Chains A and B, each alone.
Chain A
Amino acid sequence: MQVPSKYQGSSFTELLSTDHEHLVPDLSRLVPGDPRIRIPEGTTVLALKYSDGVVVAGDRLATEGHRVASRDVQKVYATDQYSVIAIAGAAGPAIEMARLMRIELEHYEKIEGEALELDGKANKLSQMIRANLPAAMQGLVVVPLFAGYDRRRKQGRLWKFDVTGGRYEETDFEATGSGGLYARESIKKAHKAGLAREDGLRIAVEALVDAADEDRATGGIDVLRGIFPIVSFCSSRGVERAADAEIEQVYRQILAARPGGVQG
């Protein structure tokens, strides 16, 4: 233990880069476009507001080119009691960013004795994405969604980001990743203000079904293997994850409501 450590602030990422440089993820030596290196990609994630807060959902597929890299990867992570990050893009750096984000928020809370405001959390994520810019230039793009319940304003909020760390707050919904466009179109048709929880869940699951239908890299709902999307609700009660059984039931209702049926 270094006493005192050089770094005296309350940010974990800054602590790493000041006192534990060897632990900072460094992808600078990766050669862009090297065909021998294939990095798994996460595909579709989305977030939409409902009456109590925000619903955040993501499929489970990671792909390497045309191949399946993993069927049950996790793309939606609770970063603390009231916020969630959903990641799309290069899976390795994205999952690491989600993990770092969680530690960052917890570290700040422990050092300072109180949690960051939701705006502060979103801003911190901006900086982490900006710090990933060199890797993004090499093809390892990470573009997450961030959502949470703002306890000061008493409402759910959500943000999208670009590779430069640009932060854009969305008023109703957003989706990103390879199937993001299709998911967003699907949500657009059904979304309105003040949705009930079950409507929010249905719209989120339906959007993932629609995205999987059009985008081959998005994993649908795998009833055969029992792999379901992750759907999290952020509200004044904190972050709650929907049970697989509940998602399966919603999925079957969606199928039943479609006369021609849709791939499952």
Chain B
Amino acid sequence: MSFPFYVSPEQVMTEKADYARKGIGRGRSSVTLEYAEGVLLMAENPSSLSKIGEIYDRIAFAGVGKFSEFDQLRKIGVRFADVKGYAYSRDDVRARALANAYSQAMGDVFTRELKPLEVEVIVAEVGDDSLAGHEKNTIYRVQFDGSISDHQGFCVIGGAAEELMNFLKDQFRTALPLREALQLGRTALQRAAEGQPRVGPENLEACVLERSRAGRKFHRLSADVLRELLGS
């Protein structure tokens, strides 16, 4: 004899959310900071698989959680941006539209699919001094259920996000030079990795959106540059 069983929507959602949080919590965190010359994105990452990527001229992406899932989102973002830039103009590709698209897509998966995405992403855009109304940097965070928020100055995603956000709230200052922003980011990641070996330049991934660059502003900081700036 089979029992027809009923599960309340509340319970389904709560359990899905718990499942997603658990998955994200297992991975390492990623920090995004505004600094004097633009936006800095950092992640603790000992592997050669990138967690941070270029989306478009002024837009970068960072993801945490399950690699295959956020890398798929990154590629979707590149396709979205390149098609939009081809159909309209390069200046029409903006972080807000992309963050909204992510929010829609991730929210859709959360409500429709059995398994939610175990990822959180950041979409960061460096301001453009020559484009009126777009001088400021923007940072969007999109969570596994599609909830979206914008942040000023800094944002952290990943398992230790809450704790590190509180830490950065006290420590962050505007217009830090790159070296200090990197050090602050590393200190934050170090706190998340408590009990693990030191977060050195060799297991750090860091990229910048540099305001003064012409055209594509995304730039990956090499291990040598990181070593020089972080001093070990």
Q: Hey, which bits of chain A sit against chain B, CB under 8 A?
A: 1, 3-5, 7-8, 12, 15-16, 19-20, 23, 99-100, 103, 106-107, 110-111, 113
Is B41 an interface residue, CB under 8 A from the partner?
A: no
Assuming the A-B contacts A15-B79, A113-B53, are A23 and B86 also in contact, with contact meaning beta carbons closer than 8 angstroms in the complex?
Answer: yes
Residue interface bits B213-228, CB-to-A below 8 A is 1, else 0 = 0001000000000000
Q: Which residues from 40 to 93 on chain B have a C-beta closer than 8 Å to any C-beta of chain A?
A: 50, 53-55, 72, 75-76, 78-80, 82-83, 85-87
Chain B residues near A1 (CB-CB < 8 A)? 76, 80, 101, 104-105
Chain A to chain B contacts (Cβ below 8 Å), 26 pairs = A1-B80, A1-B101, A1-B105, A3-B76, A3-B109, A4-B72, A4-B76, A7-B79, A8-B75, A12-B82, A12-B86, A15-B83, A16-B83, A16-B86, A19-B79, A19-B83, A20-B83, A23-B83, A23-B87, A99-B86, A106-B82, A106-B216, A107-B79, A110-B54, A110-B55, A111-B79
A99 CA / B86 CA spacing, docked (Å): 9
Check B72–A103 contact: CB distance below 8 A.
no
Minimal Cβ-Cβ distance residue in B for A10: B75
A103 CA / B82 CA spacing, docked (Å): 7
Chain B residues near A113 (CB-CB < 8 A)? 50, 53
Check A111–B75 contact: CB distance below 8 A.
yes
A19 CA / B80 CA spacing, docked (Å): 11
Check B85–A103 contact: CB distance below 8 A.
yes
A110: min CB distance to chain B, Å: 5
A19 CA / B82 CA spacing, docked (Å): 13
A16 CA / B76 CA spacing, docked (Å): 14
Chain B residues near A100 (CB-CB < 8 A)? 86
Is B163 an interface residue, CB under 8 A from the partner?
A: no
A113: min CB distance to chain B, Å: 6
> Quick one: which of B50, B76, B87, B109 contacts A5, CB cutoff 8 A?
B76
A109 CA / B217 CA spacing, docked (Å): 15
- Which 9 interchain pairs have the tightest Cβ spacing? A1-B101, A3-B105, A110-B78, A107-B82, A110-B54, A111-B75, A111-B78, A1-B105, A1-B80
Is B180 an interface residue, CB under 8 A from the partner?
A: no
Q: Hey, which bits of chain B sit against chain A, CB under 8 A?
A: 50, 53-55, 72, 75-76, 78-80, 82-83, 85-87, 101, 104-105, 108-109, 216
Chain A residues near B105 (CB-CB < 8 A)? 1, 3
Minimal Cβ-Cβ distance residue in B for A8: B75
A86 CA / B62 CA spacing, docked (Å): 36
Minimal Cβ-Cβ distance residue in A for B49: A113
List 15 additional contacts besides A1-B105, A12-B86, A15-B83; criterion CB under 8 Å: A1-B80, A1-B101, A3-B76, A3-B105, A3-B108, A5-B76, A5-B79, A20-B83, A23-B87, A99-B86, A103-B85, A110-B54, A110-B78, A110-B82, A113-B50
Chain B residues near A4 (CB-CB < 8 A)? 72, 76
Minimal Cβ-Cβ distance residue in A for B90: A103
Chain B residues near A7 (CB-CB < 8 A)? 79
Chain B residues near A3 (CB-CB < 8 A)? 76, 105, 108-109
A15 CA / B101 CA spacing, docked (Å): 18
A41 CA / B83 CA spacing, docked (Å): 28
A110 CA / B101 CA spacing, docked (Å): 19
Minimal Cβ-Cβ distance residue in A for B72: A4
Chain A residues near B104 (CB-CB < 8 A)? 1
A111 CA / B78 CA spacing, docked (Å): 7
B111: min CB distance to chain A, Å: 13
B7: min CB distance to chain A, Å: 26
Chain B residues near A106 (CB-CB < 8 A)? 82, 216
A23 CA / B85 CA spacing, docked (Å): 12
B200: min CB distance to chain A, Å: 23
A255 CA / B59 CA spacing, docked (Å): 48
A39: min CB distance to chain B, Å: 22
